[in-house]
Structure 1
Amino acid sequence: MVRAGHTGGLVVDFHGDDDRRVSYDFGPLAMPGWHPILAEALALRVGHSGGIRTLAGCRNSWNSTKAWIQFLVSLEQPPKTVDGLTREHVDAFYTRPGFAKSTRHIQMREMSKQFENERISRRLPSDAWDAFNRRLPTLKQSGVGGYSHGELERLTAAARADVAQISRRIRAGEQLLRQARDDPGKLDARQRELGETLVRIAETGEIPLLEGDRNWLRRRADLAGHLFMTWADLAPLMALLAIVTERNGETLKELPARHRLLEDRAVEVVLVKRRHRAQQWFETVTWEIGPKSRELHTPGGLYLLLLELTGRSREFCGSTAAICFWRNNWAVADRNRSEHFAPFEIDLGRGSKIEMSAWAATRAKPVLADPRPAAKAKATEDAPEKEPPVPLVVTFNKIKTSMDARRTRQLGGHLPSSAKSNTAQVLFANYLKPDEATREWAEEVITEALGDAEQAALDAHAAVAGRGGGPKVITDDSSAQQLEEAGLAPQTARDLSEGNLDTAWTACEDHDHNPETGAPCGDSFLACFHCGNCLVTRDHLPRLLALLEALGGLRQRMSEDDWWKRYGPAWVAVRRDILAKFSSAEVSKAQEQSLPDALLDLVEPPWEQP
């Protein structure tokens, strides 16, 4: 919505689907002649009918608008209104120096989106709109790979250990608080003093400033840690949440405190799913709770633990978000304001302070990445150098990729079943395809599947050949005399030498009597390679090589599994039972000839060929 601001400039109000709001004032910006059309374009872009529905997306649109105005101001003769805009201006905006290519690309695309509404585009000069309306090249984006199995196990163990320590610390503080209230006489002097301090903190939520101590900031954080979570606790907790729930960072930051227990066995929570279509921003999930001893292993158990650890801070800041904690901000406390807050309630960008990589590197036992391959050995007798271990880089994207990859492997690679919070297409393109571990696993699966398919073809060929006897391969000269000396009946030898017995690729000794049935043969010509009536001479080599070439072409156009089932037995018979009996020189000589038509239409109608 566009309205007039207090300073007289135009203001665009935004209300996102996540109930976040912001207003942008055009008043302080230059080029006032552009403000009406830019304000209307931005309002249409971020309004209810526009494509921007999040605060982060709205901020990007606003930044692009400001970049456009800054570009116009930088020109020697800037167009003061939209009527003076030309194609050259638009081209210069897209190619302006001093900006990264990705930045120019994103801002150009955003301004094109803002101007594409008919109410805006018709007011632009035609050549300028045509320049905005161009098809921009797609920027090549590299996906984010996941962790190896060992890296994921080490990260999970570290996060689980640190979250367990956090829960023990706060539960111990709660226990001391109860004792200080109910029976302080059983506490020693030191515990009683701390307990009395915790009672005051629990009632007011305020941590003493302790300004007389040199390390008072550290002491304040330690004191608050008895009852509240702090920034330092957030990194391992968020990492473990991402691992156990298999959800992305944005969804976890917006976890609500509101939930519904289902017979103490599961918890029902409504999650926010950003960047989905209208009316699809929310998803109701049911998370298993499990036994109390397994609360760090189940999504429902960890969610309830999170609510327990953040409960006191939530009461003081009055938020409905699950993630609330105490921040060590003495300036806020000095102004009598609460140091308890929900960091992501207003802006998810506060997540930049979740320093998961720093946590992994600085904990007592750092989480290390897998060692890289050893460096090349020096030209001495020294052993190959090994690079020192490096801390693991921990990000939400890498955790999400790893968990999606693990779930996909567990489900045998079936993408529709593996897709949890994304479509199968998004799961493959954004999470599985860039992951090296998943590619290696897929290659192993494919190799094993091809091996199984090939072995099945070999077994099928062996079984059929065992029943029918297999082809008779005559490697000598194909004259009638040589064929008769090779064991053929005189009449069969003459017919074979004259080509009277030829079929598609071989010859048939007795078409009227199938070796298995005794009846006239009605099998496919591909079955000839497993039949005892099959005859093969040197003259058949060109046709057999043409068949192999055609089968190789089919292999590129159909699945390996289907190819092996359909053509594998014949391919195995030609390669192993026939060509192997001729010398390499004979096969090479046949390959030098012009190969005839493969004649595959004799075994299958064209409409059934893949």
Structure 2
Amino acid sequence: MVVDFHGEDGRRASFDVGRLPMPGWHPLLAEALAQRIGPDGEIRTLNGAEHSWQSTHRWAHFLASAEPSPVVPAQLTREHVDAFHSRTDFSSRTTHRDMGEMKVQFGDERLRGRLPADAWDAFNRRLRRPRRTAVGGYSHGELDRLTAAARADTARIVQRIRSGEQLIRRLQVAPEQLDPQQRELARSLAAMADHGEVPLLEPGLNRSHRRVELASHLFMTWRDMAPLMVLMALVTERNVETLKELPARHRVLEDRAVELVLVKRRHGVKRWFETVTWEIGPKGRELHTPGGLYLLLLELTARSRRYCGSASAVCIWRNGHRAGVHGRDEHFAPFELSLSYGNAMAVSTWAVTRSKPVLADPPRAKNTAGKDTPPTQAAAAPAPLKVTFNKIKTSAEARRTKQLGGHLPSSAKSNTAQTLFTNYLSPDESTREWAEEVITEALADAEQASWDAHAAAAQRKGGGPKVITDAASPEQLEEAGIPPQTARDLARGDLDTAWTACEDYDHNPETGTTCGDSFLTCFHCGNCLVTRTHLPRLLALMDALGGLRQRMSENAWWERYGPAWVAVRRDILAKFSRAEVDAARQQPLPDALLDLVEAPWERP
């Protein structure tokens, strides 16, 4: 009844189902848990395995307290499942997670068959997936301020530790050049460097604080983690779980890049590891490139890593009185113990308590129409920026996508294009605004290109269509400059084509021969005649083209129909009054006759 777990990251654990209550359930629970966290199970992290075990633990204890208690799985009823879901001794989030976990554990067809049908149906009826709250990113200004703050504080950490190392070297080379206070500090640091032990100091005010200050001359401490990890997340564009498990093992490629293997969780079973190559960049720019920052991290943590013997890149010194450790054991790799250890980093606290707090953008005031307006002096003062690694990741993904012009396949770095869009881009307000601007500009460019194509074609074909807005009878058409016979034929409809009329079908203005062009090119031709009677057909065509646009790619639609569409919209309909167009639209529109240009011989 013991289920062993061997994680992909080397972490292991054993869970003894036999110690739970309800012995009649032990075989089923042990088998279900083994399928969930075993070699072929979906759970591949120790944290996930512990969550699965906790749900199993709570399920067994709940059944033991139920009245009547189902001694064996066959006695489980719908009421038991409903009561498990309705528990009040845990939060709604915990009860929902437990329900989901037990449903997955019992989900195998063979295991599910050992439960009564109505009990299994209760799992399905009760369990509903909660709606996830979208996490947006930071604005450009917020991201710039956060980056500048993290970079400045990381630079101070580097300067502090390098100054401590330099002080030790000066003590060894030229101790006479040090003043007494520097010499005393240098001797303490040299002893710490040799043995890895920070002295306990004499009792007194702020003893613990003074000890941390002394250790920080050579070692990274917990308070250094927030700015450094924020900067790592911003520069590498990786999530914080991956950064917590950065390895110290790496390979430098021609002093230009560093190669290392990352752990990327949630990529699926046996797909956890990814080899990446990070640019080092020029000397002095380490805080701006992922490879340079990674090597800088190794430099800052080198002494602690040597003393604790870890293979992790993130190794620090802690004041060990709370953990009950001292000496070299105060050096440790925090995330080897648990990834959740980093919850104490408190990045928002760091951002607000630094000498120059990181502030959010001023809130936008609402105008009378309910829309956002730029911040004014009357608006509330900017609040401290709430910093989370989820928002940092979202902002980094959005920034890279914008830099690559919005092309999702190229922008997807550590996720699929679908995950990039669903989880990072669509919830981000600034990205949506940018995308709307890009789309608007692209459509404007496409429309202008189609208009230029129409103008060029009209110049070749006799100047474009003749639009007669205030004439309908032959006499009125003659007064508008139409030859008498053509005016009579036009008024009777004898010259009508698909959507307009043709003044001289036998003489194409461009070729001088009988016209054989598509009806879509009529809108660029000098022989094209348009009167008020053609409005219903033109409106039907525009509606049909709008429907085609929903089913075709933008590029294909603009290439095939764009010049005709913009010619009708800007060179024909624009010459009629809005009242005339609205009156024509009130009438039943005829068939669009698109089959005349979509027959097999007309298809692109």
- The TM-score normalised by the length of structure 2 is 0.93
2:179 is aligned with 1:185: no
1:110 corresponds in structure 2 to 101
- How many Å separate the matches in 2 of 1:252 and 1:361? 23
Asked if the contact 1:450–1:561 (Cα under 8 Å) also holds between the matched residues in 2, the reply is: no
- Could you say if the C-alpha distance between residues 602 and 99 of structure 1 is closer, same or farther in structure 2, counting changes exceeding 3 Å? farther
- In the superposition, relative to structure 1, how do residues 416 and 509 fare at CA in structure 2: closer, same or farther (>3 Å)? same
Q: Counterparts in 2 of 1:475-554, with a 5 A limit?
A: 475-554=469-548
% identical aligned pairs: 69
Instruction: Kindly indicate whether residue 428 of structure 2 is the aligned counterpart of residue 440 of structure 1.
Output: no
Distance across 2 between alignment mates of 1:557 and 1:100: 47
In structure 2, distance between residues paired with 1:90 and 1:401 = 38
Partner of 2:43: 52
Cα deviation per residue 1:456-495 (whole Å; 9 max; x = unaligned)? 1221222222332222223345333333333333332222
Distance 1:571 1:331, change over 3 A: closer
Post-superposition offset of 1:137: 4.1
Match of 1:247?
A: 238
> Aligned AA for 1:578?
I
| 8 Å Cα contact 2:312/2:333 also seen in 1 | yes
Q: Retained in 2: the 8 A contact 1:205–1:338?
A: no
CA distance in 2, matches of 1:126, 1:538: 70
Are 1:451 and 2:449 an aligned pair? no
Q: Which of the numbers 263, 273, 278 marks the counterpart of 2:269?
A: 278
Q: Does 1:151 align with 2:159?
A: no
Report the CA distance shift for 1:112/1:214 in structure 2 as closer, same or farther (over 3 A). same
Q: Could you say if the C-alpha distance between residues 594 and 325 of structure 1 is closer, same or farther in structure 2, counting changes exceeding 3 Å?
A: same
Runs of 5+ consecutive residues of structure 1 not aligned to the other structure: 1-9, 378-382
Which residue in the other structure is 1:13 paired with? Answer: 4
Hey, what's the Cα distance between the residues in 2 that align with 1:309 and 1:607?
71
Q: State the one-letter code of the partner of 1:571.
A: W
Which one of the candidate residues 394, 405, 410 is aligned to 2:387? 394
Residues 272-351 of structure 1 correspond to what in structure 2 (within 5 A)? 272-332=263-323, 338-351=329-342
1:504 is matched by which residue type in structure 2?
A
1:120 to 1:450, Cα distance in 2 relative to 1, 3 A: same
8 Å CA contact retained: 1:375, 1:386 = no
1:65 to 32, 53, 56: 56
User: What is the CA-CA distance between 1:154 and the residue it aligns to?
Assistant: 1.2
Deviation of 1:13 (Å) = 2.0
The Cα of 1:529 is off from its aligned counterpart by: 1.5
Deviation, structure 1 residue 579: 2.8
Conserved? CA contact 2:320–2:326, under 8 Å: no
Pair 1:431-2:429 in alignment: no
Q: Alignment partner for residue 172 of structure 1, among 130, 142, 163?
A: 163
Q: 1:40 to 1:494 in 2, by over 3 A?
A: same
Change (3 A) 1:476 1:264: closer
* Contact preservation (8 Å) 2:471, 2:480: no
Q: In the aligned structure 2, how far is the partner of 1:487 from the partner of 1:388?
A: 68
Cα distance in structure 2, aligned partners of 1:153 and 1:586:
53
Counterpart in the other structure of 1:30: 21
Higher alpha-carbon deviation: 494-503 or 181-190: 181-190
Shift of 1:522: 0.8
Q: How many pairs are equivalent?
A: 596
Match of 1:141 in 2: 132
1:402 aligned partner, one-letter code: S
Aligned match of 2:571: 577
Greater alpha carbon shift after TM alignment, 88-97 vs 358-367: 88-97
User: After superposition, where does 1:88-237 map in structure 2 within 5 Å?
Assistant: 88-96=79-87, 101-132=92-123, 137-237=128-228
Residue 474 (structure 1) aligns with: 468
Q: Where does residue 359 of structure 1 map in the other structure?
A: 350
In structure 1, C-alpha distance between the alignment counterparts of 2:318 and 2:141, rounded to whole Å: 34
Q: Distance in 2 between matches of 1:271 and 1:608?
A: 54
| 1:564 matched residue in structure 2 | 558
Normalising by structure 1, report the TM-score.
Answer: 0.92
Alpha-carbon distance change, 183 to 556 in structure 1, aligned in 2, over 3 angstroms: same
Mean Cα deviation higher: 326-335 or 40-49: 326-335
Q: Which moved more, 1:72-81 or 1:276-285?
A: 72-81
Unmatched tracts of structure 2, length 5 or more: 369-375
Q: CA deviation at 1:99?
A: 5.4
Separation of aligned partners in 2, 1:577 and 1:336: 85
- The structural deviation recorded for 1:330 is 2.2
Going from structure 1 to structure 2, the CA distance change for 1:509 and 1:402 (only over 3 Å counts) comes to same
